């Protein structure tokens, strides 16, 4: 069945969901986006996603022509129209139609696109056996160039690191900032465990403040685990007892090898497995 796509102010058939070649989102990657999960027919952490979207738009001076309430209703309409009970929403806001010049002020109106579809997850066996990653040579964008808190349509920095991962026959790469500290993976946040303590790079190191990341930190503390946000080096990853990633699509997935070095005993560790189960239960609670 063809999808129904929300385009600006209404649902259209998938074949009619088109944007102009003069849209600055296409020409320059000028815009913001969110990836959002749907569990059991409920949109997950929607308030948090809306807050990040509107803050990102404000940071790049991108006027939103829909209120949060109207956009949230549009998301619900799109999810329902496509019969999505467990799936994924891709929400994009571009600067809109302009000219071939950089000037964003010539764009009269932002363009809003909402896609609700099923999601391609990592194979279930990968959650049981764990994932292998490499360290990317592509350095994370300097935070003074563009804030990592802006989930920008220009994802080239992450894409180049993703290519490195795929060239090495692994699904993910770890990105480091200009000082050599761990920033994030190409699409997920990074955590390690040392001596029972959960450690995460601070967002100031160059990572997006992930929605799943925040939920996992909350769940870990509810479980009585100590969570510390601090700068991490490649060495810290190499000698970690456990290592896992979090993200909208990935949820919580264990890392068992980095740069050919085995993490822990070569299997997802007990804290990783525990937090994965707690997140699974939390995401599917009816009150969320």
So which residues are the catalytic ones?
A: 151
List of E strands, the chain: 4-7, 10-13, 31-39, 42-43, 87-94, 111-117, 131-135, 172-176, 182-185, 189-194, 197-200, 227-229, 242-247, 251-258, 261-262
Across-strand partners of 90? 35, 115
Query: Residue 263 and residue 247: Cα distance in Å, rounded?
Result: 20
Angle at 150 between CA 144 and CA 153, to 5 degrees: 110
Residues 6+ apart with CB under 8 A from 173: 133, 134, 135, 136, 138, 161, 162, 164, 165, 185, 186
Between the alpha carbon of residue 211 and those of residues 92, 95, 115, 148, 287, the distances in Å are 17, 24, 19, 14, 17
């Amino acid at each position: 069945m063809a999808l129904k796509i929300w385009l600006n102010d209404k649902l259209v058939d998938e074949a009619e969901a088109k944007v102009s070649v003069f849209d600055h989102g296409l020409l320059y990657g000028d815009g913001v986006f969110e990836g959002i999960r749907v569990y059991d027919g409920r949109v997950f952490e929607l308030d948090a996603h809306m807050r990040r979207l509107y803050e990102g738009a404000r940071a790049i001076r991108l006027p939103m022509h829909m209120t949060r309430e109207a956009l949230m209703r549009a998301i619900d309409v799109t999810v329902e129209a496509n019969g999505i009970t467990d799936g994924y929403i891709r929400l994009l806001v571009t600067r809109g139609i302009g000219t071939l010049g950089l000037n964003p002020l010539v764009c009269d109106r932002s363009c809003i696109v909402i896609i609700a579809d099923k999601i391609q997850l990592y194979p279930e066996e990968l959650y049981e056996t764990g994932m292998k990653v490499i360290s990317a040579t592509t350095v994370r964008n300097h935070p003074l160039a563009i804030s990592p808190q802006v989930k920008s349509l220009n994802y080239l920095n992450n894409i180049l690191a993703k290519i490195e991962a795929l060239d090495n026959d692994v699904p993910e790469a770890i990105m480091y900032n200009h000082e050599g500290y761990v920033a994030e993976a190409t699409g997920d946040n990074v955590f390690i465990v040392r001596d029972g303590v959960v450690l995460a790079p601070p967002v100031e190191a160059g990572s997006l403040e992930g929605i799943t990341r925040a939920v996992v930190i909350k769940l870990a503390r509810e479980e009585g685990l100590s969570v510390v946000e601090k700068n991490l080096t490649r060495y810290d990853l190499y000698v970690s007892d456990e290592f896992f990633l979090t993200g909208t699509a990935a949820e919580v997935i264990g890392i068992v090898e980095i740069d050919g070095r085995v993490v822990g005993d070569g299997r997802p560790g007990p804290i990783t497995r525990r937090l994965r189960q707690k997140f699974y239960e939390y995401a599917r609670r009816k009150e969320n």
